[in-house]
Chain A
Amino acid sequence: QSVLTQPPSVSGAPGQRVTISCTGTSSNIGAGYDVHWYQQLPGTAPKLLIYGNTHRPSGVPDRFSGSASDTSASLAITGLQAEDEATYYCQSYDSSLSEVFGGGTKLTVL
């Protein structure tokens, strides 16, 4: 299993707000290492969604936001749209394992 724990799936109706958690430990998120989030649409390469816990790359809608506290981080998506249906991954650094990804969370838009 992954060092960073994500729920396997979340769902929400169009227009709703959903959050995806990424739970780590004192050797990664809890040690203050930044968390980054990626969106992977089916059959495509991942796309950077959030970097440095809270920052959005140019072109990413402000419906996407990130936060981090203690040993966990969260990705929030507001105003859910059908095009948001994808798998989301968190990534951070672990002092014993180097770069690590979460197990991924599949978002279903109902």
Chain B
Amino acid sequence: QITLKESGPTLVKPTQTLTLTCTFSGFSLSTSGVGVGWIRQPPGKALEWLALIYWNDDKRYSPSLKSRLTITKDTSKNQVVLTMTNMDPVDTATYYCAHSHCTNGVCYGYWGQGTLVTVSS
């Protein structure tokens, strides 16, 4: 079955760079049409889409955060890495990675459990 799990620091200081890793199993990110995305959720707030990487290395970013985000994949390790620069307390959130393989567009059928990242000095 498909599983995903996020890992990374739980606490980062303002201005630091956050690096999160999504380690997955049950699918290959070299399969046509497959993507892995990152979505975050500040405490008590709504979901916010961040980035997506496709099987063919096509990358998409939230326009409002594009300058701060980088998404990469390591197909051999079954991992996707998201980096976010210049972290701020408003970036405190639970960060999820999720698998997408929808016929039309992007929809996330499998999600990781999420990892809470707190930005504080």
Contact = CB atoms under 8 A, between A and B. Distances in A.
Contact of A52 (B48, B62, B107): B107
Interface string B81-121: 00000000000000010000011111111011110000000
A104 B41 CA distance: 11
Interface in A33-75: 33-34, 36, 38, 40, 45-48, 51-52, 57
Interface of A: 2, 33-34, 36, 38, 40, 45-48, 51-52, 57, 89, 91-93, 96-104
B60 interface: yes
Interface centre among B48, B62, B108, B114 (most CB of A within 10 A): B108
A102 B39 CA distance: 13
A91 to B, nearest CB: 7
A47 B104 contact: no
Interface of B: 37, 39, 46-49, 52, 60-64, 96, 102-109, 111-114
B79 to A, nearest CB: 19
B63 A34 contact: no
A99 B37 contact: yes
